[in-house]
Chains A and B, each alone.
Chain A
């Protein structure tokens, strides 16, 4: 028993950065997922994350506000900003919305680059506080909430909006309210993640909160599966951890990432969560063909 405990401790000690980042990325992925759930393609999550992270930095360095209150502040402020951002962007769909959110990320990044209380482009140091169990407790809690909502009347309404907005409106669904809700929730999730991120990494600077972070978050969701809650954290953890497992491949690690993304888009449009069902149906098909071949032979 002691041997096993030691082994886990050793494994954790050598991988804890990876474990922490996987959990954080999973939360960021959820913030993209809640938008996709009602058909909104948004890359704005890094901007919300920046708001959460800088709130955490300010409150930690200048006040005695406790960590949980910082989480609440970061989540609520980012959620509020997301809600306000949603007001003018509501009419946009698909790639047009995505382009605007990329613009918003650039604006927020430039703002923090010049914002002296946050250290501008030099970044700012923050006392660390986030622990692994906090990250995963929050992640599991969030997954649980979203999973329960997904099977509820609200979840069905979101799917309806994603599948046919006009038909949804004709049934009495207030699509504007739902979309604003999705914006706000996306902001809350990424803002919370930003607080956890800032207080994990000792130091933040505006470079972290750019377009590529948003693109990575979108990749997690697409690879894991954008139709169920569990897909996003699955994709996030897999893609975050994968480069480390493939360390032997050196420079080709990102190539493997790209191949996985391509493979999923081409063969598993529902993401990796679809893999077991897909394999099952393939196996069934194989057995059927085998049976046919035998019959033909006999």
Chain B
């Protein structure tokens, strides 16, 4: 399993904001067919890393490869079309649109044909649109929110919004799925159910990068974990090894010196 080539490679990525080093020489690989956890204290650079992978930021130095091809420097929509999808730390749905339309927006293929075909009442366009609607509906079913598909997304509960957002990201058929704290605001039971859902999303040609503060979830679903602190990788390995790593424990719990200062 460790022989599969990396889907995503980060080569000494740095990103500075003024004098702040949000990421400082981060290198890591994410392999297809795995769930890769990314953990670290607040401000460690996790979300910055997602914004780099999706093209919303450019690295100050270093580069990112997807399937061996440069990813950084492309515009966000091009990166999305190459198979990178994300969810947001604070859910960002199109709140005025019905849940199913949120998912349909992500089905880009044939957009022009479907739209101009609709102008001319072409039956093929209507058929294509129905097919996309069926895909969207099926994704909502997969995540257990199909009953809410016609409700405005903004009126859904927080948990249901997270599910719709995940369905929307999946609708792009991503090869790299970036989940930014998907369990935030969920209780233990909901988090465990989310863990099962995430495990079910894994495909041989897909990698999932899971950013999470919930360590039990990370331990339960991840094949590999990278730990960031102050923009640097301080540990990497399988979850069990990470949990015992002194550097990780120090980053999360502080050293005895810190306690003394308190």
Contacts and interface: CB of A to CB of B under 8 A. Distances in A.
B85 to A, nearest CB: 7
B118 A172 contact: no
Interface in A159-209: 159-160, 163-164, 166-175
A159 B119 CA distance: 18
A163 B94 contact: yes
B80 A171 contact: yes
Interface string B100-121: 0100111110111011001100
Sort chain A's interface into a size bin.
Answer: 20 to 34
Interface in B19-50: none
Nearest to A177: B77
Contacts, number: 83
A121 interface: no
Interface string B126-152: 000100100000000000000000000
Contact of B86 (A145, A154, A170): A170
B54 interface: yes
A160 to B, nearest CB: 5
A263 to B, nearest CB: 22
A166 B92 contact: yes
Contacts of A148: 118-119
Contacts of B105: 156-157, 160, 168, 171, 173
A266 to B, nearest CB: 20
B168 interface: yes
Interface string B161-188: 0000000100010000000000000000
A151 B80 CA distance: 24
A151 to B, nearest CB: 7
Contacts of B101: 156, 159
B80 A166 contact: no
B203 interface: no
A156 B106 contact: no
Contacts of B85: 170-171
A155 interface: yes
A159 B92 contact: no
A152 B114 contact: yes
A149 interface: yes
A291 to B, nearest CB: 25
Given A152-B114, A154-B111, A156-B101, A167 B92 contact: yes
A168 B75 CA distance: 13
Interface in B203-250: none
Contacts of A173: 77, 105, 108
Nearest to B113: A153
Sort chain B's interface into a size bin.
Answer: 20 to 34
A167 B172 contact: no
Interface in B65-117: 75-77, 80-81, 85-86, 88, 92-97, 101, 104-108, 110-112, 114-115
A160 B94 contact: yes
A145 B111 contact: no
B56 interface: yes
Nearest to B84: A170
B114 A153 contact: yes
Given A171-B80, A171-B85, A171-B108, A163 B97 contact: yes
Nearest to A146: B119
Contacts of A155: 115
A170 to B, nearest CB: 6
A166 B118 CA distance: 27
Nearest to A145: B119
Residue in A172, A174, A175 with the greatest tally of chain B CB atoms within 10 Å: A172
A173 B97 CA distance: 16
Contacts of A167: 88, 92-94
A166 B115 CA distance: 23
Residue in A145, A159, A163, A170 with the greatest tally of chain B CB atoms within 10 Å: A170
Contacts of A166: 56, 76, 92
A163 B95 contact: yes
Given A148-B118, A170-B54, A171-B105, A160 B80 contact: no
A135 to B, nearest CB: 22
Nearest to B125: A152
Contacts of B106: 171-172
Contacts of A170: 54, 56, 76, 80, 85-86
Contact of B92 (A149, A152, A164): A164
The 8 closest A-B pairs by CB, nearest first: A152-B115, A172-B80, A154-B115, A163-B94, A169-B76, A153-B111, A167-B92, A171-B106
16 contacts: A152-B118, A152-B129, A153-B115, A153-B132, A154-B112, A156-B104, A157-B111, A159-B101, A160-B97, A163-B94, A163-B96, A169-B75, A169-B80, A170-B80, A171-B106, A172-B81
Given A149-B119, A153-B104, 8 more contacts: A153-B107, A154-B111, A164-B92, A166-B92, A167-B92, A170-B56, A173-B77, A173-B108
